[in-house]
Amino acid sequence: MSSVVHVGLVGFGVVGTGLVQCLKRNRRQIEARAGIPIRIKTIADLDITTPRNADTTGIRMVTDAREILEDPEIDIVVELVGGTGFAHDLISRSLRAGKDVVTANKALLALRGHELFDLAAEKKRLLLFEAAVGGGIPIIQAMRTGVCSTEIERIYGILNGTANYILTRMEESNLDFERALIEAKAKGYAEADPTYDIEGHDTTHKLVLLSQLAYDCKIRFEEVHREGITRLTAFDLSTARELGYRIKLLAIAKKEGDRLEVRCHPVLIPLQSQLAAVSGVYNAVLIVGNPLGPVMFFGQGAGGDATGAAVAADLMEAARQIQRGPDRKNFYTFDHQEIRVKSIDDSVCAHYLRLVVEDRPGVIASVATALAEQSISIASIIQKERHESHQGVPVVITTHESPHSAMARALEKIGEMEFMADLPYSIRIEDFE
């Protein structure tokens, strides 16, 4: 074995720059704790001329990733190109070449990860991805170490900084979604096309990865029920607050026996809960397990610095294992549990319903009847003053627990009622500490 661990970095963007900075800045500490120096030998990127804010002295800069793949001295490949095509090919070929892999690519791992994890296990190589879920939050390594003795019953995650920033600003300043989105774009917190973040794709990718680790099983992205935050209004956020709740876009997993509920959507959560205090671009994951009880992890969800530090931590784990011998221990055992993902129709929740109606007699009676027909029990009804968010009179109904299917049928019927000024909208309520 060499006296240095050599790394090849593919993709020299924001996270790559953060990684190079971190390895340089904390070089002594990283070497002492990893037990061996970790050196980036080669960086491959199509653009190797634009200056980055990182010192690349002594690093070979190339435009073709094959120079990393075919270099027998390189022990670990860091994949930071993103996407699910070239990145898949790169990781697959790296593992086949006997190299360990570190990636931040949640979309790839969520959509095409199973074969890559199987390949890593077969080749006895590492495929590490701390940076893929909650950038600066060490949740992945924690799942493998400190919480690994506990049976995880529930996961609640705020995993997308863009969506959380938008929701925070909507509530703080009574902004409607579109206004808050414009502000997020201006601050650089939202992409020009924000679909991936605001429609919950990103959160769902991370949920797939977390759930697989937590429940030792394989989950397909398509099995996860997903709703975005685009239908939420300032009215919903302020009304939720009056009811003692805050609205967050949550990734949720719940295990009951051999059945798993996995869903990503806006949720009313108790205002006093630790998760409700997570504001702006921060992320957090609350795990409830047996016997560990509730544990929450909070930190930065993105950014080159935090994500670069997470990639560096994975490199240290790989470096430690490389020193232990020719094979690696992945710790991921996605196969050992027989778990089926539950249909969303069977998922049971309390709900907040926002109905915007024309102000006339009989409205409440009709709505209450439609709910009663589906055996949905009403917890409270609040008729509000007109609100700038909506053209009509908003009525908010909270219900006791009912299955998704019953609620969907009731909403369909209510939506057809002639006094409805807008489509009815329901948000799930989750109660926890």
**Cα–Cα distances in Å, from 144 out to 20, 105, 214, 283?**
26, 19, 9, 20
Stretch that binds a second copy, among 88-96, 135-143, 239-247, 350-358 (CB under 8 A): 135-143
Site string for a second copy, 19-58 (x = CB under 8 A): --xx--xx-xxx-xx-x-----------------------
Instruction: Tokens for 142, please give them.
Output: 């924690």
Nearer to a second copy, 270 or 415 (CB): 270
The answer to the question of residue 11 lying near a second copy (CB under 8 A) is no
Binding of residue 319 to a second copy (CB under 8 A): no
DSSP state, 401? E
Residue 206 designated active-site:
yes
DSSP class of 384 = -
Q: Is 150 in the site for a second copy (CB under 8 A)?
A: yes
Does residue 13 belong to the site contacting a second copy (CB under 8 A)?
A: no
* Residue of 76, 159, 260, 312 that binds a second copy (CB under 8 A): 312
- Measured from the CB atom, the residue of 145 and 375 that comes closer to a second copy is 145
> Does residue 372 interact with a second copy by CB under 8 A?
no
HSE-CB for 378 with a 13 A CA cutoff:
17
Q: 233 burial class (0-12, 13-18, 19+ CB within 10 angstroms)?
A: buried
Q: Of the listed pieces 71-79, 137-145, 253-261, 403-411, which binds a second copy according to CB under 8 A?
A: 137-145
Q: Which of 8, 11, 18, 194 binds a second copy (CB under 8 A)?
A: 18
> Hey, what amino acid is at 325?
G
The residue within the footprint of a second copy, chosen from 61, 277, 372, 423 (CB under 8 A), is 277
Binders in 188-227 for a second copy, by CB under 8 A: 216
Which helix (H) or strand (E) segment holds residue 367: the answer is helix 363-373
Is-contact 38 71, C-beta < 8 A?
Answer: no
Cα atoms found within 13 Å of the Cα of residue 84, Cβ hemisphere only: 11
Least separation in angstroms between residue 17's CB and a second copy is: 11
How many angstroms separate the CA atoms of 342 and 216, rounded?
Answer: 16
Q: Which of 336, 360, 361, 365 binds a second copy (CB under 8 A)?
A: 336
Tell me the site size for a second copy, rule CB under 8 A.
61
290 binds a second copy (CB under 8 A): yes
Question: Minimum distance from CB of 304 to a second copy (Å)?
Answer: 8
- In angstroms, give the least distance from the CB of 253 to a second copy: 16
Residue 325 binds a second copy, judged by CB under 8 A: yes
Q: In what order do the strands lie in the sheet with 127-128?
A: 60-62, 38-44, 5-10, 76-79, 100-103, 127-128
Choose which of 16, 289, 394, 424 interacts with a second copy (CB under 8 A). 289
- Dmax over CA atoms of the chain, in Å, equals 82
Is residue 333 involved in binding a second copy (CB under 8 A)?
Answer: yes
Least gap, CB of 269 to a second copy (angstroms) = 13
- Select from 68, 74, 81, 139 the one that contacts a second copy (CB under 8 A): 139
CB 401 within 8 A of CB 241: no
* Contact call for residues 429 and 268 (beta carbons, < 8 A): yes
Task: Answer yes or no whether residue 3 interacts with a second copy by CB under 8 A.
Answer: no
3-state secondary structure 94-134: HHHCCCEEEECCHHHHHHHHHHHHHHHHHHCCCEECHHHCC
Q: Which member of 187, 220, 259, 329 binds a second copy (CB under 8 A)?
A: 329
Q: Give residue 216's identity as a one-letter amino acid code.
A: D
Q: Cα–Cα distance between 201 and 21 in angstroms, integer?
A: 30
Find the catalytic residue in 41, 106, 123, 206.
206
Q: What is the DSSP letter of 223?
A: G
Candidates 2, 53, 63, 145: give the one binding a second copy (CB under 8 A).
Answer: 145
Smallest gap, in angstroms, from Cβ of residue 219 to a second copy?
A: 17
Contact 84, 108 (CB under 8 A): yes
Please name the helix (run of DSSP H) or strand (run of DSSP E) that holds residue 407, with its range, or none. Answer: helix 404-415
Q: From the CB of 387, what's the least distance to a second copy, in Å?
A: 27
Q: Which amino acid is at 398?
A: T
Cα dist. 38→31, 33, 94, 103, 265 in Å? 7, 11, 18, 16, 40
Based on the shown chain and the rule CB under 8 A, indicate whether residue 331 belongs to the binding site for a second copy: yes
> Looking at beta carbons only, is 217 or 363 nearer to a second copy?
217
- Of 77, 232, 309, 341, the residue at the interface with a second copy (CB under 8 A) is 309
What's the distance, CA 237 to chain centroid? 22
What is the rounded CA–CA span in Å between residue 155 and residue 223? Answer: 17
**Which residues sit at the interface with a second copy, rule CB under 8 A?**
18, 21-22, 25-26, 28-30, 32-33, 35, 130, 136-142, 144-151, 216, 274, 277-278, 289-300, 303, 305-306, 308-310, 312-313, 315-317, 320, 324-325, 329, 331, 333, 336
Q: What are the residue numbers of the active site?
A: 206
